[in-house]
Amino acid sequence: MCKPRRLLIVAILAIAGSTAALGPARAGGSSGAGQPLPVSAASLTQQGQQLVWKVELATPFSPEGLAMEGRTVCLLVEPTTKGSVGVRICISGPARRSRTPRLFYTPLAGGSSAPRLVAATVTRSSTRELTASFMPAAVGLDYARLRWQVISTLPARACLPPTPSPAGCFVTFPPKPALIRLHEPRLVGCVPSGPAWVFQGPKNAREIALTFDDGPWYDTARFLDVLEREHVLATFFQIGDQISQYAQHGLDRRMLKDGDMIGDHTWNHSAVAAAGGAGAVTEISRAAAAIRGATGGFQPCLFRAPGGNVTPRLLRTARALGFTTIQWDVDPRDWATPGTTEIYDNVVRNAHDGAIVIQHDGGGNRSETLAALPLEIHTLRREGYRFVTVTELLGYRLLYR
C-alpha cells in the first residue's frame, strides 16, 4: 500500500500575504489572544450523497467573531490521486437577514482565487460545535478517496514578522491527515410524510425550493448548466412521454447525481388526471415508470398535477400511489413569456422562507426563464436564502442502494 503523500495545507497564514505548502502541523498551544483556537474533535463522514463535516472547538466561538478577529477554522480536503487539486472549506458568518453560518471554499491550487459559497446545510447544537453537510460536487470534489484535516489559524497580523515560524500560527486536527473513501450512492426513492397536499415548506429556516415543470425539454440541459455553475439544487416535475425523446444521454441521471430531485407530472399532461380514479392511476404510474427507466431505478414520491388542478379524489389517488401532491406559492407565470425582467421581479418580490417557486424548463420557448434564473439565484442568495429540493424542504427521507 502506498504511503499517502502529505496533505497540502494552503491556508491564509498571512506571512507577507503568501500561502505555504506544509506537512502535518504542530499545535500552537492553548487558546488565547496569541494562540489559535484549539480543535477538540472533528470528523468527516458520508451520509447518502453528502459529506458531513463536524467540528468542535475547546472554547465557544461564533462565525462572526472569527471573522472580526481575523481567525479561521477550515476543513482541508484533497483527493489522494496524484495531480488532483484539493480545497479549503472555511466557516463564515451568516448572510444578511439570516442567522445560519455559511461555508466558503477555495481550491488549493497555485495562485489566488476568490472564496466561493458552498451549498451546504449548517447547524449548531452548541456554541463550541458546528455540523455542515454538502454534496462533494459543491466544492469541486468527486466520490473518491480523500485526505482531510481541520486547521485553526491565528489572525494574519499575529503571524507577521518577527514571528520566527508559522508553526505557532495554526493547529490541526487530527495531527496527520485522515482518510475517507467515498462511494457513489444510487438514489432509489424517497418517503413522503405529513400532508398529502403541500403549497409551501416550513417558515422556520431561510430556505426556498425552485421547481421546474413540463420537461424534459431541449433546453433542460442548459438549466442544469446554470444550476451546476451556481451550485444550486432544484426539483424537476417531468412529463413521462417526453422522457424518451429529451432525457437522452443521461439527463435524468445527471440531475440525481447533482443532488436535484425529480417529480412526476403525469404521462402526457392530460387534464384527465384531475378526475382521479383509473385515469389518474395510469397517468401517474406510466410517468413514474418512465422516470425509473431513465434514472436506473429511482421511484419519485412527489407529484404535481397539470396546471395545479386537483380534486380531493386525485389527492387520495396520488397518496395511495406513494406521492405527495406539490403545489406552489410563488408563480411568475413564465409560461406566458412576460419577459425576463418580469419573471425575475416576480420571483424575488414574492420570495419568502419556505417558498415553493414554480417555473418551466419545458413546454415552449423558455429562454426568458433561463435568462432570469441566474439573476434570481444571485439576488436571493444575497438575501440569505439557501436553495433546497422539495424533498429537503419538507424533510423527507431519501432511500439509497
**309-348, pLDDT tens digit by residue?**
999 999 999 999 999 999 999 999 999 999 999 999 999 9
Q: How confident is the model at residue 110 (pLDDT cuts 50, 70, 90)?
A: low
The conformational region for residue 65 under phi > 0 = left, psi -120 to 50 = alpha, else beta, is alpha
CA 379 to chain centre: 17
Q: Which of 158, 167, 116, 113 is nearest to 14 (CA)?
A: 158
Alpha-helical segments (H) within 201-239: 220-230
Q: What type of residue sits at position 112?
A: S
- Mean predicted confidence (pLDDT) in 66-76: 94
- Mean predicted confidence (pLDDT) in 89-118: 89
Q: How confident is the model at residue 4 (pLDDT cuts 50, 70, 90)?
A: very low
Please indicate whether residue 397 or residue 247 has the higher confidence score (pLDDT).
Answer: 397
**Does residue 19 carry a pLDDT above 70?**
no
Q: Return d(Cα 221, Cα 254) in angstroms, integer.
A: 9
- Mean predicted confidence (pLDDT) in 362-372: 98
Q: Return d(Cα 67, Cα 74) in angstroms, integer.
A: 12
- In angstroms, what CA-CA distances link 183 with 69, 80, 145, 293, 354? 38, 14, 9, 23, 32
pLDDT at 264: 98
Question: Residues of the chain with pLDDT > 70: what percent?
Answer: 88
Q: Helix axis angle, 340-350 relative to 367-382, nearest 10°?
A: 30
Tell me if 132 sits within 8 A of 115, measured CB to CB: no
**Does residue 27 carry a pLDDT above 60?**
no
**Active site annotation includes 360:** yes
Q: What type of residue sits at position 160?
A: L
From 231, 265, 269, 360, the catalytic residue: 360
pLDDT at 325: 98
**Does residue 31 carry a pLDDT above 70?**
no
Q: How confident is the model at residue 166 (pLDDT cuts 50, 70, 90)?
A: low
Question: Residues of the chain with pLDDT > 90: what percent?
Answer: 79
Q: Return d(Cα 87, Cα 103) in angstroms, integer.
A: 12
pLDDT at 159: 74
pLDDT at 10: 44
- Mean predicted confidence (pLDDT) in 367-377: 99
Rounded to a whole number of angstroms, the CA Rg of the chain reads 23
**Does residue 11 carry a pLDDT above 70?**
no
From 213, 219, 264, 334, the catalytic residue: 213
**Does residue 391 carry a pLDDT above 90?**
yes
Q: How confident is the model at residue 13 (pLDDT cuts 50, 70, 90)?
A: very low
pLDDT at 24: 37
Least confident of 80-89, 110-119, 140-149, 218-227: 110-119
pLDDT at 1: 36
pTM to 2 decimal places: 0.88
Q: Return d(Cα 237, Cα 391) in angstroms, integer.
A: 13
pLDDT at 25: 36
**Does residue 148 carry a pLDDT above 80?**
yes
**Does residue 7 carry a pLDDT above 60?**
no
